[in-house]
Amino acid sequence: MREGASRKKAKGVRKTAIELNNVSFSYGERQVLDGFSLYIGEGDRVCLTGASGCGKTTVLRLVLGLIKPSVGTVKSPKRISAVFQEDRLFKTGDVLRQISVTGTYDGARELLGKAGMSEIAHMHIDELSGGMRRRVALLRALNFDADAIVLDEPFNGIDEKNREIAARLILEKFGDKPILLISHIADDAKLLEAVSVDMEQIQTHSEQVRSQVPAKSQE
């Protein structure tokens, strides 16, 4: 959190930090996380990097409550938005409806306009390219009134110009909230001005995670 700010929240204010404490997790006999800790406070942005299988997506699933740690604790906001590796769009409904399911039609229209995509509002998903579908999935996540966002390879299939537009929209909506990004591409972290944390280096050395996160997260 910002210097001088208290981590104690006033009554009625939603808690927005993402926190994993000494977390371990295994898939059968294969241990993926061992004593992993991470704190992402308001306005903090962390990008987890590393080879496939090192535990990046596992962290995301833990944060979302889709799986439970075998050891340790995970604390996340109740209202958290997500972009998964897969687009996970509905097979029916036009683009406007796809985006509006997480919020309002007005919010969906506004996001389409800011993304330069208003002309596809009434197109069916099957009519869109892979990059377009990815952008729709991202806008759907941004239309949700959440206290944090997690993004798993969110810019896959999107060209450079539209990556920059997408990053700007993410920061506009979630710039003062916790952002957890997962990516193999270093430039993705730069787009969101995020601190990169190499999972392969710190998987069993949790204190290194905290040491790489901006000082404002350690207050």
Q: What is the 3-state secondary structure (H, E, C) of 134-181?
A: HHHHHHHHHCCCCCEEEEECCCCCCCHHHHHHHHHHHHHHHCCCCEEE
Say what the pLDDT of residue 81 is: 98
> Who wins on pLDDT, 184 or 15?
184
DSSP-derived secondary structure letter, 219: -
Instruction: Give residue 152's Cα distance to chain centre.
Output: 6
Closest-CA residue to 216 (of 16, 41, 10, 19): 41
Residue 15 three-state SS: coil
| C-alpha–C-alpha distance, residues 117 and 175, integer Å | 22
Instruction: List all residues 6 or more positions away from 46 whose beta carbon is below 8 Å from its beta carbon.
Output: 38, 40, 179, 180, 181, 194, 195, 197, 213
What tens digit of pLDDT does each residue of 69-98 get?
999 999 999 999 999 999 999 999 999 999
What amino acid is encoded at 180 in this protein?
A: L
pLDDT, tens digit, for every residue of 98-156?
A: 999 999 999 999 999 999 999 999 999 999 999 999 999 999 999 999 999 999 999 99
Q: What is the pLDDT of residue 208?
A: 43
pTM of the complete model = 0.85
Our CA angle for 198, 202, 205, nearest 5°, is 165
Give me 203's structure tokens: 């998987």
